[in-house]
Structure 1
Amino acid sequence: MACTLNKREGVVYEAKMSFEPERVEKEVNAICKEIRKSAKIPGFRPGKAPINIIKKQYKDLIEENLVRALVPEELDKAIKDVGLTVISEPLIEELNFDDKNNALDCVIVFEVKPEIDIKPEDYESIKVTKTVRKITDEDVDKVVESLLNREAKFEEVDRPIEKGDLVELEYTAVIDGNENSGSVVAVIGENQLWPEVDEALIGKKKGDEGEVSFKAAEDEKYGDAAGKNITLKFKILSVKAKKLPELNDEFARKFGAESVEDLKKKIREDLEKAEADRQQEEVEDKIIEELLKKVEIPVPISLLKMEIQAQAENQIMRLAQFGVDVKQISPQTIAEMVKPTAEKTVKVKLLLEKVAELEGLEVTDEDVEKEIERLADMAFGGDTVLARQSLEERGLLPMVRQDVLRQKALDKLIELAEIEEMEATEENKKDESSNPAEQISS
């Protein structure tokens, strides 16, 4: 058997393979005998048809089985001999099978893992800064206030409307001559109504009527009415004031705390963890950005396609959660939307795998178990058995192992980096990625 590997372009390789007639003939005869056992050919009992008739009537099946029997094993040997790592399903580009002369030749095309020209000195002592923000009592109090507001109730009052009141009104709006009527319930001062209407309602009481006329600004908050002349007549049906619950131990117990002091302690811990996670993410991002500037990383088409598909599915789920009718969005549009991020993700994964290789990092079974436990806490209510079963059924355990390896590489990069701390200012503070009040209630 002869097999020649040639590099085409980028990470694409081809294997030209040619098999000895003696080996092909032997394999063909074995395949024919197997087919003959169940072949139904007129005039012959099962298992008795001549081999030459089997070859004639089942040529395509013989060719398929022949390729399956000879090509993968020999291709795997040839690839291992030159130390390549295949990352795509090998595809048969050309196939020539001459059953008369027992000749089999083929050309197989596949992608290999790209070689990344990076050395330890490229990533050792990378200098980055991280912003550090100290969690204050004021931060804790803001979360407590958020929890109190979330549990607040509205009670009807007999007084003029103030900001923060819940108001119900019926209205008739004339927009550029087109009239429509209805009713609405909104909190004043929360940008739920047009600002001109908000202002006209302040100071009014239940039962009062009023009218406001204005030309809407060219602003998206006015929707279809932007830039148009508006006259709105209204009648106030009810006015309700927000009543906050009392901040006491009973209130704290609603959020899994024993007392107000315990609630504030828990909030502070959550805020500090969120801040630590933010700092970690900031450092990771900056180190990766610095490395990507130094290293050229080819992006294999096969890996890019898989990453685009994964990110597109996640994007569709997120859009659906926000009430978007994803059926109205073409798959091509979503794919184009996520392509730049997917391309960078592939580069980062390949980069981290190379760092892991250079640093001799390995993933133990214990590492995998810890990651399964983490995933179980996130999505399976802490049930590690169920989490493992789900990962195994979907064939994702190898992916979990790779994720752990990449994280180890990232941790190593952070360990080797020179990190300068910079106190966060009002200008460079970042919004938290999640709502601490939501964390407390979960």
Structure 2
Amino acid sequence: MQSGLRVGVQVPPLAPLHLPPYRPSLRSVAVRVRVEELSATKRKLKVQIPPSTVKEAVDEVYRDLRRRVKLKGFRPGKVPIEVLKRLYREQAHREAISQLIEKTYPEAISRKSLEPVSAPQIEPGDFSPEKSFTYTALLEVKPPVDLKRYKGLEVKVGKKGRVTDKEVREEIERLRNLYGRLKTAEGRKRVKKGDWVLLDFEGFLDGRPIKDSRAENYLLEVGSGTMVPGFEEALIGMEVGKEGEFRVTFPQDHPRRDLAGREVLFRAEVKEIREKILPELDDEFAKDLGVTDVRALRKKVREELERRKEEDYRRRVREALLDELISSNPMEVPSSLLQGRAQAIYERWKKEEGGDTDERVWEACVKAAERDIKTAFLLEEIARREGIEVKEEEVEERLKEISKRTGRDLRLLRNDDRVVEGVRTELLNSKVVDFLMEEAHIS
């Protein structure tokens, strides 16, 4: 996470002038700045701008209006200032306020060495062209990171585990299932566990069809656990071509709150039963998977399972280390960051999982967001203390990997600041976690 995030200044909306925008050109000004610490992450700024600077801003606004405004009876650029003041006084003052704040706010936070993490809430004071102008800004800042303990963390994750012959056999069987082909079952019309069935179905609650519960020509492996518990079991014994009815009680924690804990009536018709024919475990099958024979296939499968176990072990160690790191170094999280991150996690969950959500889902998102934010600040501080850095060639190499994997143009990736910064942060965090693992006591 970058320190000193760029923020926009929120000022009162300007009255519509319907004129082209212009950019303020105020010189750097001397302002008085006072800071009140409201909490570890909240500050209140009071900024006072001298009368001479206020007058300069107002004069510039009127000069710009004179250049842009077209009024009947006056040549372009020749409208008297007094006329403009009479017609546009309120709007001009609002523009001057906006100009003054946009110019002095960055200077104020820089002078006080503040690192905002969100846009400020601006409250302008009374305004007069001949007097000093004061405004307050409520903002959240990067929390202080007081690292108490990060070396020698002790975590227990259990042994990595060795790949067994049984696991190899099960994985090969999974591959055979993956490459199996379906064919219509001959000589029987009733469904049994393990069959693949083509069916139509629809759910009803209190006698009314349930929204999004109707499906046609749905292909399902009976016993796979794909559907709500009880649905697939009810299909066993059903006959092809005949509609059947059965009731299923949805789990209390089902994502659809309108169905959670409710008994639903399903009407279903099995249109076809299919059986999966698995390929023989021979050298031909092995060649289809890119190796020479069955022996080489078993070797390749074992190596892949070992790689997965290593990845799973590192993941468990990483999660345990980060949990211990957060627990050992308490810190306050800025509420704006927490809200924004939680909302992003929540929206992603809704997109991936679908269905309705409840308070438990939001609470889980908030908890995950808090962990993410604390982790980011802590890893950033550890990197600073230990001098851990990411080289540009490392970023370039990762960008090339992304380009090759996704097909995206490498030049576009290089020019996308968000992508580059994301890659740099990911690489830095990975290096810090590797450092923590080297220093930790893992059992």
TM surpasses 0.5: yes
Amino acid at match of 1:80: S
Q: Is the 8 A contact 1:216 1:225 kept in 2?
A: no
Counterpart CA distance in 1 for 2:432 and 2:42 is 27
1:107 aligns with 2:125: no
The match for 1:407 among 418, 426, 430 is: 430
Map 1:89-100; keep pairs closer than 5 Å. 89-99=119-129
TM-aligned CA deviation for residue 315 of structure 1: 0.9
1:88 to partner: Cα distance: 1.2
By how many angstroms is 1:377 displaced?
A: 5.3
Please tell me the residue identity of whatever aligns with 2:126. Answer: N
Q: 2:332 aligns with which of 295, 298, 302?
A: 298
Equivalent AA in structure 2 for residue 92 of structure 1: I
**Is 1:346 matched up with 2:381?**
no
- Partner of 2:157: helix, strand, or coil? strand
Matched, 1:310 2:336: no
TM-score (normalised: structure 1): 0.72
Identity within the alignment, %: 27
Q: Distance in 1 between matches of 2:197 and 2:96?
A: 78
Q: Residue 147 of structure 1 corresponds to which residue in structure 2?
A: 175
Q: Report the Cα distance in structure 2 between the residues aligned to 1:128 and 1:36, rounded to whole angstroms.
A: 70
Q: Does 1:125 align with 2:148?
A: no
For residues 354 and 309 of structure 1, do their structure 2 counterparts lie closer, same or farther at Cα, with a shift above 3 Å needed? same
- TM-score w.r.t. the length of structure 2 is 0.71
| Matching residue of 1:419 | 442
Following TM superposition, by how much is the alpha carbon of 1:307 offset from its aligned partner in structure 2, in angstroms?
A: 0.7
Distance in 1 between residues matched to 2:161 and 2:170, nearest whole Å: 16
Compared CA separation, residues 61 and 417, structure 1 to 2 (3 A): farther
Residue among 88, 110, 115 paired with 1:85: 115
Instruction: Please give the secondary structure, in 1, of the residue aligned with 2:152.
Output: coil
**Distance across 2 between alignment mates of 1:266 and 1:58:** 78
**Distance (whole Å) between structure 1 residues aligned to residue 250 and residue 56 of structure 2:** 79
> Aligned ranges for residues 141-180 of structure 1 at < 5 Å?
141-152=169-180, 153-154=182-183, 156-158=185-187, 164-165=194-195
Cα deviation, residue 62, structure 1: 3.2
- What amino acid sits opposite 2:325 in the alignment? L
Q: Tell whether 2:406 aligns with 1:384.
A: no
SS across alignment from 2:83 = helix
CA distance in 1, matches of 2:196, 2:163: 33
Q: Which has the higher helix share?
A: 1
Q: CA deviation at 1:39?
A: 1.0
Between stretches 274-283 and 149-158, larger displacement belongs to 149-158
**Closer/same/farther in 2, CA of residues 251 and 383 from structure 1, 3 Å limit:** farther
Contact 2:36/2:44, CA 8 A, preserved across alignment? yes
**SS of residue in 2 equivalent to 1:96:** coil
In 2, Cα distance between the equivalents of 1:165 and 1:219?
Answer: 23
Alignment of 1:224-243 (within 5 A): 241-243=275-277
Match of 1:427 in 2: none
Kindly state the Cα deviation for residue 98 of structure 1 after the two structures are TM-superposed.
0.8
**Contact 1:157–1:241 at 8 Å: present in 2 too?**
no
- Structure 1 residues 90 and 227: CA distance shift in structure 2, 3 A: closer
Query: Alpha carbon RMSD of aligned pairs, Å?
Result: 4.4
- For residue 322 of structure 2, give the secondary structure of its aligned residue in structure 1: helix
Which of 368, 371, 378 pairs up with 2:395?
368
User: Hey, what's the Cα distance between the residues in 2 that align with 1:94 and 1:77?
Assistant: 17
CA separation of 1:82/1:245 partners in 2, compared to 1, >3 Å: closer, same or farther? same
Give the AA of the match of 1:297.
Answer: M
Aligned to 2:26: none
Tell me the amino acid that sits aligned with residue 118 of structure 2.
S
- Count of residues in correspondence between the two structures: 387
- 2-side partners of 1:63 and 1:252: how far apart? 79
The aligned residue for residue 8 of structure 2 is none
The 1:50/1:220 distance shift into structure 2, 3 A limit, reads closer
Q: Does the CA contact (< 8 Å) of 2:223 and 2:232 recur in 1? A: no
Deviation of 1:158 after TM superposition, in Å, equals 4.4
SS of the residue aligned with 1:130? coil
Return 5+ residue gaps in structure 1 as ranges. 171-181, 421-442
- Long gaps (5+) in structure 2: 1-30, 201-215, 253-258
Moved more, 263-272 or 156-165: 156-165
Instruction: Tell me if structure 1 keeps the 8 A contact 2:121–2:138.
Output: yes
The Cα offsets for residues 106-148 of structure 1, whole Å up to 9 and x where unpaired, read as 11121110102214xx111112233302123332221221121
| Secondary structure of 1:123 counterpart | coil
Kept after mapping to 2: 8 A contact 1:155/1:243: no
CA contact (8 A) 1:373 1:382 kept: no
Following TM superposition, by how much is the alpha carbon of 1:329 offset from its aligned partner in structure 2, in angstroms? 5.4
Residue 308 of structure 1: CA displacement? Answer: 1.7
Partner of 1:287: 321
Q: Call closer, same or farther: CA 1:111–1:400 in 2, change over 3 Å.
A: farther
Alignment match of 2:421 (pick from 398, 416, 423): 398
Name the SS of the counterpart of 2:127 in structure 1: strand
Q: Which moved more, 1:50-59 or 1:14-23?
A: 50-59
Amino acid at match of 2:177: N
Q: Distance in 2 between matches of 1:346 and 1:65?
A: 37
Inter-CA distance 146–28: structure 2 relative to 1 (3 Å threshold): same
Aligned mates of 1:128, 1:407 — CA distance in 2: 18
Q: CA deviation at 1:216?
A: 8.4
Match among 41, 47, 50 for residue 77 of structure 2 = 47
Q: For 2:189 and 2:284, how far apart are their aligned partners in 1?
A: 33
C-alpha deviation, 1:94, in angstroms: 2.9
Taking the TM superposition and a 5 Å limit, the aligned residue runs for 1:197-212 are 198=236
- Give, in whole Å, the separation in 2 of the partners of 1:374 and 1:186: 37
